[in-house]
Amino acid sequence: MIQLSYSQINRDLLKTMEPPGKLYYAILALDLAVLAWGIYAWTYQFRTGMGVTGLNNPVGWGIYIATFVFWIGIAHSGTLISAILFLFRCRWRNPIYRTAEAMTVFAVMTAALYPIIHLGRPWLFYWLLPYQQRGHFWINFRSPLVMDVFAVATYFIVSAAFFFTGLVPDLAVVRDKAVGWRKRFYTFLAQGWEGTDREWRHYSSAYLLLAALATPLVISVHSIVSWDFALAIVPGWHSTIFAPYFVAGAIHSGLAMVLTILIPLRRIFRLETYITPAHLENLAKLIILTGLIMGYSYGTEFSIAWYGGNIFEQATFRYRAVGDYAVAFWIMAVANSVVPLLFIVKKIRMSVPWLFGLSLVINVGMWCERFVIIVASLAHDHIPFAWGFYRPSWVELSVVAGTFAWFFLWFLLFAKFLPVVSITEVKELVEPPLTGGVDP
């Protein structure tokens, strides 16, 4: 880390919160427009019924659930960067962890919309909560969908708590520099943080403990989401590798999304000194690793499908490769396991345009993977009599677009109301001011 003084860091990183220009408002307006369109589409579905979607027999889970899994996956690498890399003492995570953790919180908030969106009677969503219903029975704790409720709720609460905890010292920084209504706002948010040794001590302790708790949580959440599929005996779903395969895939797509977000962010806010090419390169290297895991998983599933001799399993794999959804399948196979290997070439992973472009490709590939796993298996189940075809309707596509807008809306607000790079943690990276050293 190059030598920067604390006050320089303060100045640079607080600049991101200055009143925005026209471009920001233009993007915000576009985002709100897409969001409004998505809300309209969903209320249409709400009033008219699920028939306006393409969902039917046999494919009852379509792009709503695919995108749900996609968003939960994205959330995972935020926690990887903020919690797991913290436990491994990777210093390079410091400037990027705030954005990554924000991505986690917003991604979980986006994903949490889907269990309600995809319900036929959304006003009954509270039936998923653990309470005693009429007739003295409770929710079915054996169901992986109920496990989902616990997992996603826990993940949201813990991530939000972790996110906010890490924010507090920075909020104090903002508070001390703010004036007017902002000062009151951030004074409230900063909760009275003063940076005493006592506060830092307990804060550091809590931070470490939260990171240690978040790590198994992250692995469990996407494992549980994968078990939504693996615990059923649908061919193509019932596979023991699903849990680690989904977790690796989640981190894979999440890292790509972090790149997609960080690259414009650092450009717009001129944070190139803080989010250096080395950071992006490290993310790219992690993507190579997760890409290899994806390739391993695809290879293993395919090989064991043959080895196991289960004709339904074999038929499903054949259908995926050459059937109705073959295009999505091949996008998935190439974008997730072959394209990341391009990052082995140093020139590619040091080039910002390449990083951005490939991160988009990987995200598309990962979404396609969720889609293929869910839809192709449902469309082509055990009995040929029950085979069908699913195509998403305009309602579904609009709602999905709306949820993407929802995610980016929170990001736009985050960028202006909170410091996108953790001021305190960047200060921890540089040399402290010593007599005879760098002058603050």
Partner 1 sequence: MSRGSRELLGIFTHLDALLQAIHQLRDAGYRDAGVFSPVPRHEVEEALSRGPGPVRHFTLIGAILGATTGFVLTIATSLHYPLITGGKPIVSIPPFLVIVFELTILFGALATILGMLLNIRLPRLKLRPDYDPRFSEDRFGLWVRCQEDQIEAAQRILHSCRADEVSMVSLEEKRPRLRRAGRFILGVLVILLGVVVALAYLLPRLPTTSDMARQPSIKPQEHPLLPPPNSVPVQGKERRMELLEASEKLRNPVKATPASVEHGRESFQIYCTPCHGPDAKGKGPIAKKLKTPPDNLTEESAVEQTDGYVYTVIGQGGTTMPPQAEGLPPRDRWDVVNYLRGLQREAGAR
Partner 2 sequence: MSYQERRGELPVTPRLLPRGLLRLLWVLLGAGVLTFLLEATGPNRLRAWQIFLVNFLFWSGMAQGGLVFAAVYDVVRARWGGAVKHLAQGLGAFLPVSFVLFFLLLAGRQVLFPWVNQPIPEKQAWLNTPFLFARDGIGLSILYGLGLASLYYSLRVDLGRSVTHRGDSLPRISALFSRGWRGLEEEQRRSRRVLAILLPIFLFTYATVFSLIGFDLVMALDPSWYSTLFGAYFFVSSFYLGLAAIAIIAVLARRRLGLEEQIGRRQFHDLGKLIFGFCLVAGDFFWSQFVVIWYGNLPEETAYLILRGYEMPWAPLTWTVLLVSFIIPFLLLLSRRVKESPRTLLPIALLILIGMWIERYILVVPSLWHRTGLPLGWIELLITGGFLAAVALSYSAFLSAFPVPPVSGVSHRSAGLPRSDEPGRSSYTER
Instruction: Please enumerate in sequence order all residues whose Cβ is within 8 A of that of 198, keeping only pairs 6 or more positions apart, or say none.
Output: none
Instruction: Please enumerate in sequence order all residues whose Cβ is within 8 A of that of 225, keeping only pairs 6 or more positions apart, or say none.
Output: 69, 72, 148, 151, 152, 246
Of 173-202, which residues contact partner 2 (CB under 8 A)?
200-201
Of 219-278, which residues contact partner 1 (CB under 8 A)?
220, 224
Please give the C-alpha separations between residue 24 and each of 205, 260, 263, 282, 375, in angstroms, as whole numbers. Answer: 38, 17, 16, 29, 37
Question: What's the rounded Cα separation, in Å, for the pair 20 and 3?
Answer: 29
Report in angstroms how near the CB of residue 232 gets to partner 2 at its nearest. 8
- Fill in the DSSP letter of residue 232: S
Say if CB 362 and CB 335 are below 8 A apart.
yes
417 binds, among partner 2, partner 1, none (CB under 5 to 8 A by kind): none
Question: Site mask, partner 2, residues 221-260, x = CB under 8 A?
Answer: --x---x--xxxx----xxxxxxx----------------
Neighbours of 150 (CB within 10 A): 16
Q: Which two tokens stand for residue 101?
A: 């953790």
Question: What's the rounded Cα separation, in Å, for the pair 40 and 101?
Answer: 30
Q: Is 150 in the site for partner 2 (CB under 8 A)?
A: no
Which of 210, 280, 333, 418: binder of partner 1 (CB under 8 A)? 210
Which of 264, 428, 433, 440: binder of partner 2 (CB under 8 A)? 428
Q: Which stretch binds partner 1 (CB under 8 A): 80-88, 192-200, 314-322, 403-411?
A: 192-200
Question: Site mask, partner 2, residues 291-310, x = CB under 8 A?
Answer: -x---x---xx--x--xxx-
Residue 13 vs 251, nearer CB to partner 1: 13
Question: Site mask, partner 1, residues 137-156, x = CB under 8 A?
Answer: xx-xxxxx-xx--xx-xx--
Question: What's the rounded Cα separation, in Å, for the pair 244 and 303?
Answer: 17
Question: Site mask, partner 2, residues 90-119, x = CB under 8 A?
Answer: -x----------------------------
Say if CB 64 and CB 38 are below 8 A apart.
no
Q: Is 440 in the site for partner 2 (CB under 8 A)?
A: no
Report in angstroms how near the CB of residue 297 gets to partner 2 at its nearest. 8
Nearest to 52 by CA among 371, 398, 378, 396: 396
Which of 191, 308, 327, 417: binder of partner 1 (CB under 8 A)? 191
Beta strands in 84-132 (DSSP E): none
Residue 204 vs 303, nearer CB to partner 1: 204
Say if CB 100 and CB 258 are below 8 A apart.
yes
Which of 172, 219, 257, 339: binder of partner 2 (CB under 8 A)? 219
Question: What's the rounded Cα separation, in Å, for the pair 256 and 264?
Answer: 13
250 binds, among partner 2, partner 1, none (CB under 5 to 8 A by kind): none
Interface with partner 2 (CB under 8 A): 1, 86-89, 91, 144, 200-201, 204-205, 207-208, 216, 219, 223, 227, 230-233, 238-244, 292, 296, 300-301, 304, 307-309, 428-432, 434
